[in-house]
Amino acid sequence: MLRITIDHDQEVGVPWKDCDGCWRVISTSPRHNHYESPETYQHIGFRRKLAVGLAFQLSRYSHGSTCWSLVGDGPQCHWDTTQNGGYLVWDHKPREMGAKTYEDRRKDAKAFLVMFNDWCNGNCYWYKVERVTECSHCGAEVAEDLGSCGGFIGDDSLFDALREVMGSYPGEGYEFAGAGAWLGTCHFNELPLPAHHSRSGCIVGFPPVPPPQH
């Protein structure tokens, strides 16, 4: 029997610092540690970036969890949504981005925000796989460590990796353990995720540990 333990990974860094070729989120709220004054982005050069899809204006929904989205997307609430919440900026050279058209850059930006929202809300995971047997002499549990890995942002990337790992052990039964055990049950049995869990990264999957300030 394989035992797969899933839990929060508290060591996952800021996406644009730990990943190459990422967008950067700028907040217009002084409460956030990635705050920058909106006045910094009122020059003609930045307006040009907005026009060609190398920057986008963001809205921010905050009510328990946080959801950053391109303006016009995401949850809209009179009390909880800030329309001018910040900017998403591509700090690299334009040729370093695979997307070349405005629409393709918009799609790329939205995909990044899914990951960023997962990170903001603590949806970052690690797993450990063990083969559990019973001692032939005393009957005690014996757990053989088959490997572990962390740094996954969002549960889809976690379970893509786990499916590949479990393909190395065909025919073996498995069980899930840890705070994220219910996620494993949903993914591997193709059950619908609970209503409070969102693929957008906007809603936390299970009670998170406090992430870095965002």
pLDDT digits (tens, 9 = 90+) for 82-117: 888 899 999 888 888 889 999 999 999 999 999 999
Q: Which residue has the tokens 């950053």?
A: 68
| 129-133 average pLDDT score | 93
Nearest-angstrom CA–CA distance, 5 and 129: 7
For 150-214, give the DSSP string. Answer: EEEESHHHHHHHHHHHHTTSTT--EEEESTTHHHHHHHHTTPPPPTT--TTS-S-SSPPPPPSP-
**pLDDT at position 206, please?**
40
The pLDDT, as a whole number, for residue 20 is 58
pLDDT digits (tens, 9 = 90+) for 43-78: 888 999 999 999 999 999 888 788 899 998 877 777
d(CA 57, CA 121) in angstroms, rounded, equals 21
What is the number of other CB atoms lying within 10 angstroms of the CB of residue 106? 15
Is residue 213 scored above 90 in pLDDT? no
Among residues of the chain, what percentage have pLDDT more than 90? 36
Q: How far apart are CA 176 and CA 163, in angstroms?
A: 13
Q: What is the mean pLDDT of the chain?
A: 83
pLDDT at 27 over 60: yes
pTM, to two decimals: 0.78
pLDDT number for residue 8: 92
Q: What is the mean pLDDT of residues 134-157?
A: 89
pLDDT at 144: 93
Give the pLDDT of residue 25.
92
